[in-house]
Amino acid sequence: MEYETVIGLEVHAQLLTASKIFCGCSATFGAEPNTHSCPVCTGMPGSLPVLNRKAVEFAIKLALATDSHVASFSLFARKNYFYPDLPKGYQISQYELPLSTEGYLEIPVAEGGMKRVGITRIHMEEDAGKLFHDEAKPFSYVDFNRTGVPLLEIVSEPDLSTPEQAADYLRQLRTILQYLEICDGNMEEGSFRCDANVSIRPVGAEKLGTRTEVKNMNSFRHVERALTYEIERQKKVLEGGREVIQETRLWDPAKGVTEAMRGKEEAHDYRYFPDPDLVPLTISLQWVEEIRKGLPELPLQRKGRFVKEYRIPEYDAGVITASKALADYYEECVRLFPEPKQVSNWIMGDLLRLLKEDEKEAESSPLSPKQLAAMLGLIKDGTISGKIAKTIFEEMYKTGKGAKEIVEEQGLVQITDEAAVAQAVAEVLQDHPKEIEEYKNGKAKLFGFFVGQVMKATQGKANPQLVNEILKKKLS
Amino acid sequence: MKVERGEVEHVALLARLKLSEEEKEVFTSQLNAILDYMEKLNALDTGAIEPTFHVVSHCNIMREDEVRGSLPQEASLENAPDRAEGCFRVPKII
C-alpha cells in the first residue's frame, strides 16, 4: 500500500535575554552548576515570579515575522508534572490563551515553488533544569542554571509531508530567529530544540494515523535521518498487520534508530490551570506597532535586496541569505572585494562545501571574509590563477594562513612571463609529436590535452589565457 | 456520585500522595460534596459575564531585562537531601 506522511513540529527556542523569564538570574549558558538560580527559579515558598518585558518583546517579534496573530490578552498557566529537572513540580507555560496564534512560514518544495506551513501557536514558557547521568553509578545530577531561561514554543500545523520539508521548515524558522537576533539557534547546545509528531496514513485517507513523538534530534541531519527511520518503521508495523502505538520515541544517533522512551511517566495529565502568581498579560496595539517598526530585514527581504543591489541570481541570493551569518559574511566580503558574483561563486562553491564536510555553520567558518577577499584580489591582479586559487582556498581554510603567505611559501605565483610560458609550451610540443600529428589531422579535441600538459608542467601556475594564446600560435 | 474512588487514586498518584484506604473514602465523598456545590453555581446564568482568570484586576506587571544575581552554589544546595559536584544528586533517571 502507498502511504503518505504527516509531520508536525514543536520547536523550543531559547531567547537571548540577559536575565531569566521570571527572575533576575543570568540566562547565560556554561556557568558552574547551580550558580544561576534563586528562590524564584526553584519555587521556594514566598517567592514571586515577575515577567521579563524583553522576553515578551522577543515573542512579539517572532509572531510578527511569521504573520501570526498577537493576542491582546494572554495568560500564564502551570503545567504540573514531577521530574527532577523541574524544581517547582510545575512548569510555567501558556495553555489557554497563548501569546500568538495562526501564523505561517514558507519553505521551498522539491516540485518547485513555495509551500506554506501553518504555525498553530507561539507561546512563552520557562526552560527546565539540566540532568546529567552517571554511567557507572545509580545517580543523576541536577543543575538548575537553565531553570527559568525564557523559551518560545513554536507549534506547527501537521502540514509537512517529508523529512526534507521538516528540515527545511526548521532551517527557515531558525534563520528567522537569527535574523531577529532573539535566539542563537544552536542545535548542538540545545538553544534550538525540536520534537516531531509523525504519522502515516494510506494515500487519500482522511483520518490521521496514530502518531508517535520523536525527540532527541540535535541537528538538521538527525531530524531527517530520524524521521526517515520512523516513517519506515511505522510502515513496517502497519504492513505486518500491527498497530502503531502512540508513544514518545528517542532518536539514537549512534544506532540510527528511534526507540520507545522508558521511565518517564507517560501520563499526559498535566492539569493546567492559570498561574495565580502571574497576572494576565495584555499587549496593546501600540506596543505591537512599535515592535513592528523596529523589525530588522528578514530573510526573504534580504534575498530580494541581494538580487537587486548585487545583481546576483535569485538562486545565489536564496542560498546565501538562508543563514544570517552567511549573508553577513557575503556582504562583508563584497564590501572588501566589490565583485558580487565572483564572491557568491566562491562562497556557494568552495566555502559551503568545506563547511558542510566539517558540519560547520558559517558563523564558525575558519576562513574570514577578509581572507577570502584578499585571495580574490590576488586572482584579479593576476598574481595567482583561478586554478591555483582553489588549492590556496583549501589551504587557508585548513591552516588559517593568509593567501599571500601561502603563495609566497609555496611559490604559487602565476607565471605571466611570455617567454617562460612559451618555453613550457615548446617542451610539451616536443614531447608529443604524435598528438601534434593527430591534431593537425583534425582531432581538435587535443587542444585541451596540450593545455593540460602545459598546466601540469608548470604545476598549475601558468596563466591559462597566455597558454591558450601561445599554443594556438604554435599549432597553427 | 461524580467522582469515583478510581479517580481519587489517579489524582493522588499524579500528586505523589500516598493515601490510606480510609482517606480514599473520605476524599471521595469530600470531593463529591465540593463538586455538588459547584453544581449550584452552575445553575446561575453566567453567559454574559467575562471569565475571571485572576483574583486581582492588575495586568502587565513586568520587569526590565536586568541581571540581579543569584544565590551562591552553597546556598542553592543547602536544602538538598543529597548532592555531589555542585549538583543535586537524585536516583538515576532513565
Q: Which chain A positions have a beta carbon within 8 Å of B76's beta carbon?
A: 34-35, 37, 42, 144
User: What value of ipTM does the predicted structure carry?
Assistant: 0.85
> What pLDDT does residue B57 have?
74
DSSP B78: T
Lookup result for grid cell 558580487:
A340
Q: Nearest CA to CA, how far is A62 from chain B (Å)?
A: 18
What is the domain-level CATH number for residue B33?
1.10.20.60
- Which residue in the set A18, A41, A133 is minimally distant from B65, CB to CB? A18
Q: Which chain B positions have a beta carbon within 8 Å of A269's beta carbon?
A: 10, 14
For a pLDDT cut of 90, what percent of chain B falls above it? Answer: 39
Range of the domain at B18: 5-42
Q: Nearest CA to CA, how far is B44 from chain A (Å)?
A: 23
Decide if B51 is inside a domain. Answer: no
- Which residue in the set B62, B67, B93 is minimally distant from A50, CB to CB? B62
Decide if B10 is inside a domain. Answer: yes
Decide if B28 is inside a domain. Answer: yes
With an 8 Å Cβ cutoff, are A24 and B62 in contact?
no
With an 8 Å Cβ cutoff, are A51 and B62 in contact?
yes
Decide if B57 is inside a domain. Answer: no
What's the number of domains chain B is made of?
1
With an 8 Å Cβ cutoff, are B73 and A32 in contact?
yes
> What pLDDT does residue B60 have?
83
How many residues appear in chain B? 94
Decide if B53 is inside a domain. Answer: no
> What pLDDT does residue A342 have?
81
> What pLDDT does residue A54 have?
96
Q: pLDDT digit string (tens) for B66-92?
A: 999 899 999 999 988 999 889 999 998
> What pLDDT does residue A275 have?
92
Q: pLDDT digit string (tens) for B34-58?
A: 988 988 888 888 888 888 777 777 7
With an 8 Å Cβ cutoff, are B89 and A52 in contact?
no
Decide if B33 is inside a domain. Answer: yes
> What pLDDT does residue A412 have?
67
> What pLDDT does residue A267 have?
54
- The answer for B 73-92 residues in CB contact with A (under 8 A) is 73, 76-77, 84-92
Q: Which chain A positions have a beta carbon within 8 Å of B70's beta carbon?
A: 25-26, 35-38, 41
For residue A276, the chain B residue with the least C-alpha distance is B54
Q: CA A202 → CA A104, A205, A265, distances in Å?
A: 26, 6, 31
User: Which one, of A443, A439, A442, A445, lies nearest residue A474 by Cα?
Assistant: A439
Q: pLDDT digit string (tens) for B1-39?
A: 588 888 898 888 888 899 999 999 999 999 999 988 988
Residues 6+ apart with CB under 8 A from A29: A146, A189, A191
Are A292 and A285 in contact, with CB atoms under 8 Å apart? Answer: no
> What pLDDT does residue B1 have?
56
Decide if B91 is inside a domain. Answer: no
Q: pLDDT digit string (tens) for A66-114?
A: 999 999 999 999 999 888 899 999 999 999 899 999 999 988 777 777 8
Are A194 and A170 in contact, with CB atoms under 8 Å apart? Answer: yes
How far is Cα A265 from Cα A278, in angstroms, rounded to an integer? 28
How far is Cα A142 from Cα B83, in angstroms, rounded to an integer? 9
Sites in chain A below the pLDDT cut of 50: 263-265
Are A445 and A406 in contact, with CB atoms under 8 Å apart? Answer: no
Mutant choice from A34, A82, A288 vs B, greatest count of B C-beta within 10 A: A34
Mutant choice from B62, B64, B74, B85 vs A, greatest count of A C-beta within 10 A: B62
Q: Nearest CA to CA, how far is B77 from chain A (Å)?
A: 8
> What pLDDT does residue B52 have?
79
Are A200 and A235 in contact, with CB atoms under 8 Å apart? Answer: yes
How far is Cα A234 from Cα A226, in angstroms, rounded to an integer? 12
> What pLDDT does residue A208 have?
84
